[in-house]
């Protein structure tokens, strides 16, 4: 099992890292424990490639060269969401 497959949010955290909804239980902007393999935000503009939300400066975020890694992480997010809760 890859380390990202065992990722669990902090107890009491109501923030949904996948949709950006909810209340954080800490003062971090991004989850400090989120494995890189689950990061779906473009490192240049922070466009969410999972929810397709944000304001990217490029014409097509799905072909942006900066977001190549985060685009590949979308499949990991879907796998995490499909597993049963702990």
Whether the pLDDT of residue 17 is over 60: the answer is: yes
Question: Average pLDDT, stretch 27-42?
Answer: 84
pLDDT of residue 65: 93
Question: Average pLDDT, stretch 24-36?
Answer: 81
Output 21 or 57, whichever has higher pLDDT. 57
CA R_g for the chain: 13
pLDDT of residue 86: 60
Q: What percent of the chain has pLDDT over 90?
A: 33
Give the range of the structural domain holding residue 54, as residue numbers without chain letter.
3-82
pLDDT of residue 1: 56
- Angstrom CA distances, 79 to 1, 7, 43, 66, 74, stand at 12, 12, 22, 23, 9
Number of domains in the chain: 1
**pLDDT, tens only, 59-81:** 999 999 999 999 999 999 888 87
- For the chain, the farthest-separated pair of C-alpha atoms sits apart, in whole angstroms, at 40
């Amino acid at each position: 099992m890859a380390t990202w497959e065992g990722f669990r949010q902090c107890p009491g955290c109501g923030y949904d890292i996948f949709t950006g909804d909810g209340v954080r239980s800490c003062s971090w902007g991004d989850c400090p424990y989120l494995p890189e393999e689950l990061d779906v935000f473009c490192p240049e503009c922070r466009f969410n490639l999972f929810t397709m939300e944000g304001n990217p400066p490029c014409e097509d975020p799905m072909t942006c060269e900066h977001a190549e890694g985060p685009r590949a992480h979308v499949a990991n997010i879907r796998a995490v969401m499909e597993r049963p809760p702990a």
